[in-house]
Structure 1
Amino acid sequence: MTTTTPKIRFVMIGGFLGAGKTTTIGRLAKAYQDQGLKVGVVTNDQAADLVDTNLLRSQGLQVGEVAGACFCCNFNELTSTVEKLSAEERPDVVIAEPVGSCTDLVATVIQPLMRLFKAQFDVAPYGVILKPSHGLRILRQEANAGFSPKAAYIFEKQLEEADFLIVNRIDELSAEQVEELVGLIQKFAPGTPILRQSAKTGEGFAGLIDMLDQRGAFGQKILELDYDVYAEGEAELGWLNGSMKVTADKAFALDEVLLGIVEGLRSELANAQAETAHLKTIGLWEGAYGVANLVSSDTPAVMSLESNCQTKTAEIVVNARVAIDPETLQAEVEKVVQAVADKHGLKVEFHQTQSFRPGRPVPTHRFTQPL
């Protein structure tokens, strides 16, 4: 008698930079684990030293990272990363977090999985998280939406290809703002189901799990996409991933350092009139970790996860996605980190910093007709 290995449920949650994908994925993974399921996570970035990977691993999750290109342009690395997770402890569910500036994921990731790996994967409906701060401005078609029309084009295409959309951060929005967002989405993407949730508090999360459990004709929205506009929109962002070690003779408050870095960058970038897509920094020390972030130029820097840690040493990772020249961005990051270190009496040892503009997307596979 032969036995068939159960398929891995493949869940991908998309959304623009700073939409709340990592927080959502962390909570979703915990919900699946509470059901007795084994969960693997695959993060994705244009470079190594990803805050999201460090954060999710710190939460005890089995995490693989696809670095150097987006899932669509490094599809084989995505599938091999899932295989590596399976070799360690085969997951029942894999949750994938794509790069926040990517779109066309139905044609280049979901359809290839459904066609070429249908024996291994059972693909869930594709959900995209709407980022309220930039979403309101872009969907209102404001003259100053924060980004150029080419970058806004990527944001809109992400919404267009989704099986369902998620209005996140409802704990930070008024009821009127939530309803305005829902109305704008209904006008932009009529017929697409809309969920309301707070990944931070868990409000509305049962609806997300129910949606992801559905089977049916999903992953069918193949985009008509201008890759020239797409590439130019991505290339407007300066991209930085950097890691460093800080040490001191006396214990310092890790959270104050992390928030100081992000707040300092918020101020410097505002002076440079450079729109922030996302800034995030994580500090790690002996099982403790804290995260500070900034999701747009018109919102405050916040501690999204407090460590409440006093320490004499910590490893810090900074990720920045900003509409500015990458070399300028790197100089600003190094200047602010040093200023915060001087303020707290810290010595900084920079490990590595990668700063660049994303290259033109060249998908491994692209299917122009749905399965």
Structure 2
Amino acid sequence: MVGGFLGAGKTTTLARLAGMYREQGLNVGIVTNDQADDLVDTGLLRSLGFNVEEVAGACFCCSFNELMDQMQNLSADKRPDVILAEPVGSCTDLVATVIQPLKHLFEREFEIAPYAVILKPSHGKKILSATSTTGFSPKAEYILKKQLEEADLILINRCDELSTAEADELEQLLAKNFPGTPVLRGSATEGTGFEAISEFLDQQGEFGRKILDIDYDVYAEGEAELGWLNCSVRLNAENEFDLDRFLVDIVEGIRQELLSNGAEPAHLKTIGLWEGFFGVANLISSDTDVRLSLPSHQKAKVADIVVNARVACDPELLEQIVKKVLDHQASQINADLEYRQLQSFRPGRPEPTHRYATAKT
């Protein structure tokens, strides 16, 4: 399982690891997780040819039995040698509620790898140094800190976007806040550092044992401050349009609207798919640029568009913004929009299926 805050790069990291394992001749299964349906990550990973199941509607800890069902579904046709799992980016306390129950209840079926948590540099530096405004409340920041606290390994991702001095500063902050926790650097986009990451995850030993002292009231209130939106639409245009440009324009339009409303994005991503091709654009904070993380290099007249947004604002405002931008961008290319699904809400209080107070041997 690979955790980390919203926008840390978990999906890209899992795709990179899955590709490495597949090159070794191993069968790989992936389980994604979200508080709602229509998850960009699931569509992306399936488009890359991976065997993917999804736990939707609640986090792994609150849907532990469904997590186990989905892992069984992965083995229905071809039993995986490796299962990679991506928890919801606003969740923590996963050692006590997922890893320890797996170890105790299913010890004969699984070997549990070290629990890796990805540090998101853009928000991580601000939160750990406490020197500037992050756009999140202290309760939301509490979640990121607790995620890092329970990690067996902290991965500084997106190092292709950092100078050596910036990466050094992050590593020093981590050493100060989480002494003794191993730290590795890498770039899931470029693949740098992943041999060392894979070697670490292949280790066996006393991992997944950091049971948090956690205040569930603060945790729940921090999650509830985030507006959650998943939206899927069918786009029909009179003439061919550049799919990648359209995806970037959607994310940039939403970014501008969020800025004007003083709302900090935790993560915003959109995927466009049609007949075998796809593209992905995303945004991870208000002070970073929109990124075309996976270009399609395609023109199309029809495309299915999925937008996932996690933002520190009221979900009703978030829905208004996303609909406004989608409608505007569709009008720019003389296209009709058919809304297939639209969900916006605040996450409810976490109610884990299991929670172990101490680590089992």
When the two structures are superposed, what TM-score results if normalisation uses the length of structure 2? 0.99
Matched to 2:168, the amino acid is: E
Q: Distance in 2 between matches of 1:264 and 1:323?
A: 17
2:227 counterpart of 1:223: no
Deviations 1:246-272 (A, max 9, x none): 011211000111101000000000000
1:158 aligns with 2:147: yes
Q: How much has 1:300 moved relative to structure 2?
A: 1.0
Q: Distance in 1 between matches of 2:324 and 2:237?
A: 19
Deviation at 1:146, TM superposition (A): 2.0
CA distance in 2, matches of 1:215, 1:122: 8
Counterpart in the other structure of 1:350: 339
Counterpart in the other structure of 1:8: none
Aligned counterpart, 1:195: 184
What is the SS of the residue equivalent to 1:123? Answer: coil
User: In the alignment, residue 233 of structure 2 is paired with which amino acid?
Assistant: M
**Separation of aligned partners in 1, 2:251 and 2:198:** 32
Tell which deviates more after alignment, 40-49 or 87-96: 87-96
Trace 1:138-157 onto structure 2 (pairs within 5 A). 138-157=127-146
Counterpart-to-counterpart distance in 2, 1:89 and 1:340: 42
Q: Which amino acid aligns with 2:241?
A: F
Q: Work out which of the residue numbers 126, 135, 157 in structure 2 matches 1:168.
A: 157
Say which of 25, 30, 34 aligns to 1:36: 25
Distance (whole Å) between structure 1 residues aligned to residue 61 and residue 92 of structure 2: 9
Any stretches of 5+ residues in structure 1 without a counterpart?
Answer: 1-11
Aligned to 2:115: 126
2:328 is aligned with what amino acid?
Answer: A
Q: Secondary structure at the match of 1:72?
A: coil
Number of residue pairs aligned between Structure 1 and Structure 2 = 360
Superposed displacement of residue 344, structure 1: 1.4
SS in 1 for 2:36: coil
Give 1:14 deviation, angstroms: 0.2
Whether 1:69 and 2:67 are equivalent positions in the alignment is no
User: In the aligned structure 2, how far is the partner of 1:48 from the partner of 1:191?
Assistant: 38
The alpha-carbon deviation at position 89 of structure 1 amounts to 1.4
Q: Does 1:17 align with 2:17?
A: no
Q: Deviations 1:41-82 (Å, cap 9, x if unpaired)? A: 000000000000000000000000000000000000000000
Q: 8 Å contact 1:17–1:101 — kept in the other structure?
A: yes
Cα distance, 1:145 vs structure 2: 2.0
Cα displacement (A) at 1:119 = 1.1
Contact 1:134/1:146 (8 A) holds in 2: no
Aligned-pair CA distance for 1:88: 2.0
Instruction: State the TM-score, normalizing by the size of structure 1.
Output: 0.96
Partner of 2:353: 364
In angstroms, what is the RMSD of aligned CA positions? 0.6
- What amino acid does structure 1 have at the position aligned with 2:8? A
What is the percentage of aligned positions where both structures have the same residue? 62
Map 1:61-100 onto structure 2 (within 5 A): 61-100=50-89
Pick one of 269, 278, 282 that aligns with 2:258.
269
Task: Check conservation: 1:150, 1:230, Cα contact below 8 A.
Answer: yes
**Equivalent of 1:304, from 293, 313, 317?**
293
Secondary structure of the equivalent of 2:44? helix
2:45 to 56, 61, 67: 56
Aligned to 2:100: 111
Q: State the AA in 1 paired with 2:91.
A: C
Give the Å deviation of 1:143.
4.3
Displacement of 1:219: 0.5
For 2:22 and 2:86, the matched residues in 1 are separated by 18
> Residue 293 of structure 1 aligns with which residue?
282
CA distance, structure 2, for counterparts of residue 98 and residue 132 of structure 1: 19
Task: Tell me the amino acid that sits aligned with residue 40 of structure 2.
Answer: V
How far apart in 2 are the matches of 1:350 and 1:310?
21
Gaps of 5+ in 2: none
Find the residue that maps to 2:77 and give its secondary structure: helix
1:315 lines up with 2:304 in the alignment: yes
AA paired with 2:299?
A: Q
Provide the C-alpha distance between the structure 2 equivalents of 1:66 and 1:121, rounded to a whole number of angstroms.
19
Work out whether 1:334 is the aligned partner of 2:323: yes
Give the Cα–Cα distance (whole angstroms) in 1 for the partners of residues 99 and 53 of structure 2.
18
Indicate if the aligned counterparts of 2:135 and 2:312 stay in contact, CA closer than 8 A: no
Letter in 2 for 1:275: E
